[in-house]
Structure 1
Amino acid sequence: MTTEELTNDVLKALDEIRPFLNHDGGDISLVSIEDGKHVTVRLEGACTNCSVNQMTLKAGVETTVKKFAPQIETVVNVE
């Protein structure tokens, strides 16, 4: 898989979860993909101060990203 294909898969995953974040006044953007295994995202809007953002990140974002790109091992949020 090329870097471009991986990036597209991760962006598709973020597009899938974005409506749920938007509903709560938040958003998400892709910051980087390191070594084809580690994704860094930025939770935005209401998500930055949300008390459950780490749960959202692991349960929602990471699960969705891994569904689209199974080779991804971690998803972290940069603040």
Structure 2
Amino acid sequence: MDQIEQDIKNVINKLRPYLQRDGGDIEYVRFEEGVVYVRVLGACQGCAYIDDDIKEGVEMILMEEVPGVTEVVAV
């Protein structure tokens, strides 16, 4: 695993407790050409706000903390 993937995983692990408080979770799937692919779990799967949470929360933080990240997509 290269450094950028490790950095992405570290950031996601910092965010997970906030999602877990509401019964959800997120896991890293892969990183390709600037895009981080994640899987949402638990209560996040059916949540009407998950797209906003991904774009306005997870994506924003990852883009700020990990150079090279341009987008986050839930799969």
What is the TM-score when the length of structure 2 is the normalising length?
0.93
Give the gaps of 5 or more residues in structure 1. none
Q: In the aligned structure 2, how far is the partner of 1:12 from the partner of 1:60?
A: 15
Partner of 1:24: helix, strand, or coil? coil
Q: CA RMSD in A?
A: 1.1
Q: In the aligned structure 2, how far is the partner of 1:4 from the partner of 1:21?
A: 26
Q: In the aligned structure 2, how far is the partner of 1:44 from the partner of 1:64?
A: 19
Q: In the aligned structure 2, how far is the partner of 1:15 from the partner of 1:62?
A: 14
- Percent identity over the alignment is 35
1:1-79 aligned at under 5 Å gives the runs 4-35=2-33, 37-78=34-75
What is the TM-score when the length of structure 1 is the normalising length?
0.88
**How far off is 1:63 after superposition?**
1.2
- What do the CA deviations read for 1:4-63 (whole angstroms, capped 9, x no partner)? 10011100110111011000001111111002x111000110000001000100111101
Give the gaps of 5 or more residues in structure 2. none
Contact 1:32 1:40 in 2 (8 A): yes
Q: In the aligned structure 2, how far is the partner of 1:59 from the partner of 1:23?
A: 18
Count of residues paired in the alignment: 75
